């Protein structure tokens, strides 16, 4: 039985608890797993976020809206949202996947989060799924700046530092886990030994982008200089 803490975190009660159980079941655990739900959830979250962007930014063209959506609906963001609701603590994983840290792996958590969205959609309809997605993405949408967000985090971080004549970051590989077909990379972004942030991703590039985004969040939220 799923812990009440997860239900409180997602602020949704299922009429059909089997849908939630399936959403939390990785293929390494058995059948039915969450792969089909992941497929559906991907479409639902993209649709809801697209609608929000369409309504918020009437002056942007199709290509710009598409890039903003890709910026928001990516593995890194879905991984962060899955962590926010504590999804990893409730995943059903095979023994090998569990021992290798699958409940912390970005690819597994982001897929499970999409499956969760699909489960809510099937259980409560589009309105329920839209409410959940809107709530989860609210903060990110509120602070979204189209001009800067259309650039990747590494570019934005470099420009932020150059504008203030500060040293540029260095990216250091920390760890690689998992089998070759499902690796998880961890990379540190180091800025003049004063700031170090860590990012995870399914490739070194994705991990570097995640670590750069984390560093930028800290710098932009700090005292103005």
Active site residues: 42, 114
Count other C-beta atoms under 10 Å from residue 164's C-beta. 9
DSSP state of 207: H
Q: Is 101 exposed, middle or buried (0-12, 13-18, 19+ CB in 10 A)?
A: middle
Nearest to 114 by CA among 28, 39, 211: 39
Let me know: does 40 contact 121? Beta carbons within 8 Å: yes
Let me know: does 205 contact 221? Beta carbons within 8 Å: no
Distance CA 150, CA 157 (A): 13
Question: Looking up tokens 């077909």, which residue turns up?
Answer: 181
């Amino acid at each position: 039985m799923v812990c009440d803490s997860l239900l409180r975190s997602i602020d949704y009660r299922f009429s059909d608890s089997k849908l939630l159980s399936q959403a939390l079941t990785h293929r390494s655990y058995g059948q039915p797993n969450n792969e089909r739900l992941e497929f559906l959830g991907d479409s639902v979250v993209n649709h809801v976020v697209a609608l929000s962007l369409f309504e918020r930014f009437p002056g942007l063209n199709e290509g710009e809206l598409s890039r903003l959506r890709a910026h928001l609906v990516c593995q890194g963001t879905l991984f962060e949202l899955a962590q926010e609701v504590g999804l990893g603590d409730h995943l059903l994983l095979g023994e090998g996947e569990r021992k290798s840290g699958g409940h912390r792996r970005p690819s597994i958590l982001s897929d499970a989060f999409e499956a969760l969205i699909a489960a809510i959609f099937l259980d409560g309809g589009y309105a329920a799924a839209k409410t959940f997605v809107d709530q989860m993405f609210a903060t990110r949408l509120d602070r979204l700046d189209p001009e800067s967000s259309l650039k990747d985090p590494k570019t934005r971080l470099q420009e932020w530092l150059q504008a203030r004549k500060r040293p540029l970051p260095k990216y250091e590989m920390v760890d690689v886990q998992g089998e070759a077909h499902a690796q998880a990379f961890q990379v540190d972004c180091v800025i003049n030994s004063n700031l170090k942030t860590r990012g995870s991703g399914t490739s070194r590039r994705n991990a570097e982008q995640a670590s750069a985004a984390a560093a930028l969040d800290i710098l932009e939220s700090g005292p103005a200089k």
